Every structure is written in structure tokens, then in C-alpha cells.
Amino acid sequence: LPRRPRRSQAEQTFCNSPCGITDQFVCACGEAGHALLIDCRPPYATESVPLSDPRIALVVADSNVKPQLSGSEYPDRVQQCKDACAAMQAAGHSEVRHLRDATLSMLETVARSHALPEATVRRARHGISEDQRTLQAKEALKASDYAQVGRLMFASHASLRDDYRVSSPELDALVEIARGVPGVHGSRLTGGGFGGCTVTLLSRSAVPALLAAFEAEYPKRAGGRTASVFV
């Protein structure tokens, strides 16, 4: 296990990118037919969650928009989340070392008492709520409650778009196109955002309709650009 965090540390130190450990852990611990739940606090526990129901499918749609980053987008968000944690600690919540230790009500109270900047509150609200959604999605997958997983995916995208502010018009278009296809359970951006891909959970029988919708609708909303789609 220690080598995987070191791989992330290499990106942070030598590439100056404050990335996490998700990519490295999926490569090292991913299991076919399963989603991987990662605890990003040492000792970095993982849990494989079954995702092999033949009735469902995952579709990845590449917006074919390369993320356009000035260099400060990720560091700014990391710092804003740290600032929110520090404010909650200063307010007497010494247990809040990371956003996973906080609650939304705790954040709301401290935001008022410490006059936190709106952007800081939004970034922290995403982090706290996303942790909650992730744990809820794990339980829903175990119960084969794909409608609930889908609702959580749509909520996640809305939070990434509105609070964490890492979506793009093209990613939003792909998610909204997917939302309109019968049989789609949920869709959201995946990866670092600012371009890149979406992932959609849907009934396998709905895959042809989704592919047709992407082909017909995405160019209209993306200036003629087409999406690359993988099932």
C-alpha cells in the first residue's frame, strides 16, 4: 500500500498537481465487475462493491473537450476546503481534520459566524455532501437500487457544477441529454472536470437509445463537436 500514495505524491511534488489517490488505487486495486470504494485516510482501506448486474450498463462519453486549465483551479479548491476545515476547528470543532469529519449543519453555522467567503462554503459543501452521496451509493448498489444510485449521480453532477464549479457546458449537455433518455438512471461528469468525460448508469436495453441521442443532440449543443462513446 505505501507505494500507491507515493505515486500520488510524485504527481503532487514533481508535476505540481494537488491530485488525490483515486487513479492509482483503481489501477492497483480495481476488480472486474465491481466499483471500488476508497477510504482516502490511512491505512487506505478499500471495498469492492458488486457492479455486474447484466441488466445494467455503464456508458462513458468523452466530450472531446480537453480541460483548459490555467494552473490554479485545483490548488485553489484544495486551499478553500482546507480553509473551511480550519474555520470549523477554530469554532471549536477540533475533530474536523478533513471535510469528511464535518456535517452540512456544522458548515452552515460556521459560515455565518466566521463570515466565510461564498466560494469557500460552496467548495466545502460539495466535499461534505459528496462523501455522503458516495456512502449512500455504496449501499444502494449493494441493494441493486439503481434508481437511487442514479439520483445520487445526478445530484453529484449538480454539486460539481454549481458548488465545486468544475463542469463545462459540454459536460452539462451530455448529462442533460442522458437525463432525457428513458431507461437512464443517472449521469455525471467523471475525472477532474473542466472538460473530459461523463459516466452514465442505465438499463442495458436503453444503450442504443442513449447512443442515438448523443449522436443526434450533442453536436447541436457543442458547436458541431461529436462525442466519443464507450460502453
Catalytic residues: 23
Residue type, position 32, single letter: A
Residue type, position 129, single letter: S
Neighbours of 117 (CB within 10 A): 12
Rg of the chain over CA atoms, in angstroms? 18
**For the chain, what's the residue count?**
231
Torsions phi, psi for 172 (to 5 deg) = -60, -40
**110 burial class (0-12, 13-18, 19+ CB within 10 angstroms)?**
buried
Closest residue by Cα to residue 87 from 66, 109, 65: 109
- Cα-Cα end-to-end distance for the chain: 31
C-alpha dihedral sign at 191, 195, 196, 199: positive
The CA distance from 110 to 113, in Å, is: 5
Three-class SS of residue 55?
coil
